[in-house]
Every structure is written in structure tokens, then in C-alpha cells.
Chain A
Amino acid sequence: MCLAIPMKLVEITREGSGKVDAGGVRTDVVLAMVPHAQLGDYLIIHAGFGIEVLDQDEAQVRLDLFRELAEVTQDLEDA
């Protein structure tokens, strides 16, 4: 029930609400919990509400870590 997915903020329609997009599907979003959200941000959407803004820098840190971890197995398999 606490399922939430990242969607891109593509429109701020009026104060406190906007539209988000995932793979071409657009839905309304309430921005009351993420008043600082800006167009182009990825929001974590739960029950029609943005509950947080995805931190792109942290997302990159995670990706870099996982790539490093992938190399460990690659090296083992190559050895």
C-alpha cells in the first residue's frame, strides 16, 4: 500500500498541483508535500501525491556503486 513510483513533473497547472508523466502516461499530481518541486524533477508518487523529489545526485551515486559491484563479479568470471 505504500507503493510509490517515480514520475517526471511535466506541468505545474495551478498552485499546489500539476501533471506527471511516466512513459507517455500523464496523471494529475498534488504538490502540497513537495512545494519546492520544479519542472523536470522526478517525483515519488503515492496515491496521486508527490511525496518526495528524487535526488539525481544520489541516484547517480547508487548507479556508480552498483556498476563497481558488477565489476567485482566480472573480474572473478574473467579470472
Chain B
Amino acid sequence: MSENQESRTARTLAREIRDFSRMTTGALRFMEVCGTHTMAIHSAGLRKLFPDNLTLVSGPGCPVCVTEKSFIDQAMLTARQYDACLVTFGDLVRVPGSFGSLATLRSEGGRVRVVYSPMQAVNIAAEEAPRPVVFLGVGFETTTPTVAVTLTKALSEGVRNLFVLSAFKTIHPPLKLISAQKDLDGFLLPGHVSAILGSDCYTYLAEEFHKGGVVAGFEPLDILLALRDLVRMTVEHDFQIINDYRRVVRPEGNPAARSVVEEVFEPSDASWRGLGVIPGSGLAFKGPYARFDAAVHLPVEVPLTKDDPRCKCAAILTGSITPDRCGLFGRECTPEDPVGPCMVSSEGTCAAYYKYGVN
């Protein structure tokens, strides 16, 4: 499509969103669950197209944002106590823990290696042996299969010095909690998490909670289309799950990806920044894969952590407030010198508001 055509499509969709939104006198409030959607919405300037009564709030699907400060502390203590090499995705490097970030650790001579793929950790383990190598396991259903495949390879190759510190999370448990919010009308559902889970797995949102859900792609037009469908369902009280990302997401998802995750991990309780401990929302190692568990094989005493009481990341992550309502936002908390994780992560809500403006 030409740029002109795309712009016309966007205008048609924006008009349809406006027309449907006029069919209610109430406020329309939707949540984009996924941090990648947050960035896409802000960078494309889509919020300018929304009618006044439509609000889009960010959800818990930003892995770095929902990771507890104590996880960073645990990683740093593990590195120090066992002279371990930490392997991580880049997003985590600048997240502040209680005593600095991984960047601090590196500046003090600690080994922190940033990877693009978890598979690189296997080679790094060979290079660093016998030093323990700890992969920092942060992410949702899109990422966990890539780590699971990596561990099946490490197991079959008999790699002894590779470990994973697991803060992996699954999206359904928090989604069920958040669905109980009365003033939330529906969800823009994550595209790539759904590529793994499928679009059929969300029916409870419509059936139990009477909320619409639309699985959306990441192009600006994909997001506008999904929003139009959300607004329409809400004003017509026609709650269902619509898949607007069919070119990637199948109704049944990707069973091969899920089966390798089930081979390596089993559900466990997990602690979420902003939401607390949610039963069954994390992943623990299963059977022979327990040998990779950094928390068990490289134990450290993590002191109790305290978040800055002025930091509002918790309320922002659950869609209760927008970043401009936090007193630190843009003053004491900026991407250069962040207080909370929502400002650090490239897909955090605060980072998006800071970069692209509040309105």
C-alpha cells in the first residue's frame, strides 16, 4: 500500500472509532496488555486520533517493568559471590536494584554479557568455563520457549556451568486479576504472546468477565483496526475474542513451542512488581532441568528490598493511573536517571510518555 492509501485507511478507521464511541455516553477504557503495543501506539502518535471518551491504559505485559527489584539484587549478589558471568537481554542492564544496576556491576569489573538470543548463552558458557554463567530469565510466553529450547540443547550437550535465574511470567493469571476491574471495558491482546498461546485461550475474558478482547498486530493500522473492533463490541455489548492478527496468530497457537516449555518448566508462584505474588504465574524448572536453577545451585541471601514509596510504577502497571500523575515523572525520574522500571524499559509506559509526550 502507498503511504497515501495507508493514511486514508487510518482516517477511515479513526472515523469508525469515533462513530462507534458516540453510541455511548460513558467512558471507554481499554488496556493494551503488551509493552510492545505501548511503544507502537506512542511512536505512531495514535493517541491523537482517539475520541475524548476513549482511554487506553498500559498493562502488565512489560517484562522488565513487572520484575521485582529483588531480582536485580539477587543477580548482582550471585555474580559477586560466585564470580559468575551474567548473560542478559539489553533491556535489563540499567534497571536500578537496591545497590545499583547491572551497569554498575560491569563498571566495577563484573562480567555482564548482553545477548540477542538465549542460545548465545550456551557458547558463552563454553568460553567462560569453569566460571558459572547465569542467564537472567525475564520474559513472557514469547520468550520462554526460546529459553526452553536452549536448555534442551544445554542438557543434551552436558553443559555443566550454565544456570538460569528464573523470573519468567505467564500472562493469564494477572489478566484474570485485572479483568475484575469494573471500569475496564476490554483488552488489546498481545500479538506475539498469542502467537504461542493462540487466540482461543482468552474466551474467559468474554464469558466470565464480559469484556471484549482483540488480538492485535503491531503496525499502526493493525492497532486502529483492533481498537475499532474493541469499541464496537463494547458499545454493542457483544463481548467476544476477535483475532485481528491472523497472519501470525492461529486459533490454537504454536503447540511445538508450548510443548518444549512444558518439558522444561512447571507453573510456580511468582512475585510481580505492582501486583504482588500471583499463584501459578511464574515458571520453575522441572525434572532434569532443575540442574539449571541458579536460585538453588548458586544460592544467595537477598535482603528485603524497598521500592521508593514515591514511585508509582505499581499503579501504572495495573492501569490505575497514567505516568503524568506520578510526582517523580520527568523530574527525578527520567530515562537517563530512572527511579522505576517503567522508565527504564524501552517499552515501559513512563519511557513512552517521556519520549513521545503526555498527550
Chain A interface residues toward B at CB < 8 A: 1-4, 30, 32-35, 44, 46-49, 51-52, 54-56, 58-59, 61-63, 65-67, 69-74
Contact present for B116 and A2 (CB under 8 Å): no
* Beta-carbon contact of A51 and B145 below 8 Å: yes
Residue among A35, A66, A67, A72 having the largest count of chain B Cβ atoms under 10 Å? A66
- Give min CB distance, A77 to chain B, whole Å: 8
- Chain B interface, DSSP helix/strand/loop, else mixed: helix
Give the contact stretch, choosing among B9-17, B76-84, B281-289, B351-359.
B9-17
User: Could you tell me if A2 and B8 are in contact, using CB atoms closer than 8 angstroms?
Assistant: no
- A44-B192, A73-B9 given as contacts; is B36 within 8 A of A66 (CB)? no
- Given known pairs A1-B347, A2-B61, the reply for A54 and B247 (CB within 8 Å) is yes
Q: Which of B13-47 contact A (CB under 8 A)?
A: 13, 15, 34-36
B333, chain A: closest CB distance, angstroms: 20
Is the Cβ of B34 less than 8 Å from the Cβ of A2? yes
**Which of A61, A63, A70 is close to B8, meaning CB atoms less than 8 Å apart?**
A70
Contact of A51 among B9, B63, B257 (CB under 8 A): B257
Partner of B149, one of A1, A32, A55: A32
Residues on B with beta carbons closer than 8 Å to the beta carbon of A35? 256
Contact A49 B146 (CB under 8 A): yes
A3 touches B246 (CB 8 A): no
Q: How far is the CA of A20 from the CA of B142 in the complex (A)?
A: 19
Residues A2 and B256 in contact in the complex (CB < 8 Å), given A67-B5, A70-B9: no
Give the CA-CA distance A63 to B246 in the complex, in Å.
12
What is the count of residue pairs linking A and B with beta-carbon distances less than 8 angstroms?
127
Q: A1-B36, A3-B36, A73-B12 are in contact. Are A30 and B119 (CB under 8 A)?
A: yes
In the complex, the answer to whether B5 meets A70 with C-beta atoms within 8 Å is yes
B278-316 CB mask vs A (1 if < 8 Å, else 0) is 000000000000000000000000000000000000000
Contacts of A71 in B (CB 8 A): 8
Taking A46-B142, A47-B118, A49-B146 as contacts, is the C-beta distance between A1 and B63 under 8 angstroms?
yes
**Does B70 touch A at the CB level, under 8 Å?**
no
B62 touches A1 (CB 8 A): yes
Residue of A2, A44, A58, A62 with most partner-chain B CB within 10 A: A2
- The yes or no answer to B64 lying at the interface (CB within 8 A) is yes
Nearest first, the 8 A-B pairs at minimum CB distance are A48-B117, A70-B8, A73-B8, A58-B247, A2-B142, A58-B246, A69-B12, A2-B192
**B150 CB to closest chain A CB, in angstroms?**
9
Q: How far is the CA of A35 from the CA of B210 in the complex (A)?
A: 37
Q: Is B89 an interface residue (CB 8 A)?
A: yes
List the A residue with the shortest CB-CB distance to B346.
Answer: A1
State whether the Cβ of B334 lies closer than 8 Å to any Cβ in chain A.
Answer: no
Rounded to whole angstroms, the CA-CA distance of A59 and B192 in the bound complex is: 16
A49 contacts B145, C-beta separation under 8 Å: yes
Distance to closest chain B CB from A34 (angstroms) = 7
Q: How far is the CB of A12 from chain B (nearest CB, A)?
A: 16
Q: A1–B91 contact, CB under 8 A?
A: yes
**In the complex the two chains form, what is the Cα distance from A30 to B12 in whole Å?**
40
Bound complex: CA A34 to CA B195 (Å): 12
Asked whether, in the complex, the Cβ of B256 is within 8 Å of the Cβ of A34, the reply is yes
In the assembled complex, 7 residue pairs joining A and B whose CB atoms fall closer than 8 Å, in A order, are A1-B345, A30-B146, A33-B149, A44-B192, A47-B118, A54-B248, A61-B246
